Amino acid sequence: MIDRKKFDDTFQYFDKEVLLKIIDIFEQELPGRLEKIRKNIREKDYETLAFNAHSLKSAAGTFMAGEPGELAGKMEELASRESGQDLQDLFEKLKPAAEELLIELIKIRQEL
């Protein structure tokens, strides 16, 4: 999931403590982000959903993780068009992809 070469190239100049902090923030925020997205879908709050999906897309992009970023991007696009169609299905794919990203980040953190 994480393109490790791009990840390493991007973060090679970062102080180890900074990278650890970025990973820690993602770990702390992910459950809340996913819950907000689930709630936005349930309540058909498309404006807030677009914002929250964009936020998750950006976070995934930071770590060079294609799948969760792509899924969040599709969700953002649908929400921007106020189309509820396929949002729940996208969420059912996004949630495990984002959780897998977190697992990979935890492994990277242990390597540092």
How many domains does the chain contain in total?
A: 1
CATH of the domain at 28: 1.20.120.160
Q: Three-class SS of residue 2? A: strand
Residue 8 in domain: yes
Residue 92 in domain: yes
Q: Can you give the pTM of this predicted structure?
A: 0.91
* Nearest CA-CA partner of 65 in 11, 5, 6, 1: 1
Predicted confidence (pLDDT) per residue in 29-42, tens digit: 999 999 999 999 99
Percent of the residues in the chain that have a pLDDT greater than 90, as a whole number: 94
Residue 28 in domain: yes
Predicted confidence (pLDDT) per residue in 52-76, tens digit: 999 999 999 999 999 999 999 999 9
Is it the case that residue 112 has pLDDT exceeding 90?
A: no
Average pLDDT, the chain: 95
Per the structure, the complete domain to which residue 49 belongs is given by 4-107
Residue 20 in domain: yes
Q: Three-class SS of residue 65? A: strand
pLDDT of residue 85: 87
Mean pLDDT of 83-99: 95
Residue 112 in domain: no
Is it the case that residue 5 has pLDDT exceeding 90?
A: yes
Residue 100, phi then psi, degrees to nearest 5: -65, -40
> Token pair for residue 89?
């299905």
Residue 102 in domain: yes
- List, in order, residues 6 or more apart from 55 with CB less than 8 Å away: 33
